Amino acid sequence: MPTKNLTGKVALVTGASKGIGQAVAKRLAQDGAAAVVNYWASSDGAEATVADIEKAGGRAIAVKADVSQVREIERLFDATLSRFGKLDILVNNAGFAFHKPIVETTEQDFDGIFAVNVKGTYFACQQAAKHMTDGGRIINLSSSTTGMLLPDFSAYIATKGAVEQITRSLAREFGARRITVNAVSPGPTDTDLFSRGMSDQEKQRIGQMAALGRLGLPQDIADVVALLASDDAHWITGQNIRANGGII
């Protein structure tokens, strides 16, 4: 059962209108944090997330912002500070994925995925450097695909490899302020995005590849993020936690 160990904290979660991001925002709110639910396209999902948090007695707002644009990231942080006055936890969850052979990947494909996954994470961390309270937490979402050698995922894997290296470097840069910077790398996780176009048999087959014999759930990832966001994780920084049920 979640405890209120984040009471008084303010958490910003990008891409939090559905899937893993939604589960993370709800879990951090359950633990006592005020939650900023960022979204780009799914306003209904974001408002539903806020409503669920408020119904459970928490505090939350939804803020639309395209994290591939620096000005939008700045506006997102301005909205957070205007509403709650500070920022203690940043979860860079917003992401974009596609799988294509390299010969079919266009320049537009490449630039688009790097703009969201790498540029978005990097410049959100830049805003955290300017505005986060000392002793804060930054958690960047990577992917276990960086270790799985999957074909047709080269562009996506490249972005997540960059996120992991940014995480390691910034852990050193933020260390003097006691701000920890870590990455969480989910494996196959049962979200709408993952399941799109996939049969139940295919999902079961992929789930059985994990040591624990099933697909991950968004809540499984949210639990790991919540640990890293807590005071209990004060001595963990610069790490990449593969939350994947033992698939690799």
Catalytic residues: 156
In this structure, are residues 210 and 190 in contact, taking their beta carbons and an 8 Å threshold? Answer: no
Interior angle at CA 97, CA 227 and CA 94, nearest 5: 40
In this structure, are residues 143 and 183 in contact, taking their beta carbons and an 8 Å threshold? Answer: no
| Closest to 187 (Cα-Cα) out of 144, 241, 139 | 144
Round the CA-based radius of gyration of the chain to a whole number and report it.
17
- C-alpha span between 20 and 192 (Å, rounded): 10
- C-alpha span between 2 and 56 (Å, rounded): 13
